[in-house]
Amino acid sequence: MRHFINIKDIPSKDLRKILSDAKKRKKLRKNLNNLEVDKNPPLRGKLLIQMFEKSSLRTRLSFYLAIKQLGGSTLTLRPDELHLSKGAESIEDTAKILSNFGNAFMLRTDDDKKLEEFKKYLSIPIINGLSPTSHPTQILSDIFTIEEIKKKPISKLKISWIGDSNNVLNSLIAASIKFSFELKVGSPKKYLPNRKILNYIKGNKNKISFYVDPKKAAKDVDVIFSDKVISMNDRVNKKKKLSHFKKFRIDEKLMSFAKKDCIFLHCLPRGKEVDEKVFLSKKSKVWQQALNRVHVQKSILLYCFGKLR
The catalytic site residues sit at: 108, 135, 138, 227, 267, 293
What is the per-residue binding string for ligand CP in 15-54, x denoting contact by CB under 6 A? ----------------------------------------
| Least spacing, CB of residue 225 vs ligand NVA, in Å | 11
Residue 267 binding ligand CP, by CB under 6 A: yes
Cα 226 to Cα 131, 132, 174, 255, 284: the distances in Å are 18, 17, 17, 12, 11
- Strand, coil or helix: 113: helix
Residue 170 binding ligand NVA, by CB under 6 A: no
Residues whose CB falls within 8 Å of the CB of residue 287, separated by 6 or more in sequence, listed in order: none
- Do the beta carbons of residue 295 and residue 14 sit within 8 Å? no
Q: What is the DSSP string of 174-224?
A: HHHHHHT-EEEEE--GGGSPPHHHHHHHHTS---EEEESSHHHHHTT-SEE
| Least spacing, CB of residue 207 vs ligand CP, in Å | 25
Residue 138 binding ligand CP, by CB under 6 A: yes
SS3 content of the chain, % helix, strand, coil (to 5): 45, 15, 40
- Identify which of residues 132 and 153 has a Cβ nearer to ligand NVA in the complex: 132
- Do the beta carbons of residue 54 and residue 108 sit within 8 Å? yes
Query: Which listed option, ligand NVA, ligand CP, none, makes contact with residue 227 (CB within 5 to 8 Å by class)?
Result: ligand NVA
- Identify which of residues 41 and 132 has a Cβ nearer to ligand NVA in the complex: 132
- Identify which of residues 140 and 168 has a Cβ nearer to ligand NVA in the complex: 168
Residue 231 binding ligand NVA, by CB under 6 A: yes
Cα 155 to Cα 163, 193, 241, 243: the distances in Å are 22, 22, 33, 34
Residue 59 binding ligand CP, by CB under 6 A: yes
Among 3, 26, 58, 228, binds ligand CP (CB under 6 A): 58
Smallest Cα–Cα separation from 159: which of 8, 279, 5, 262?
Answer: 262
Residue 166 binding ligand NVA, by CB under 6 A: yes
- Identify which of residues 103 and 137 has a Cβ nearer to ligand NVA in the complex: 137
Residue 130 binding ligand CP, by CB under 6 A: yes
Which residues lie near ligand CP (CB under 6 A)? 56-59, 130, 138, 267-268
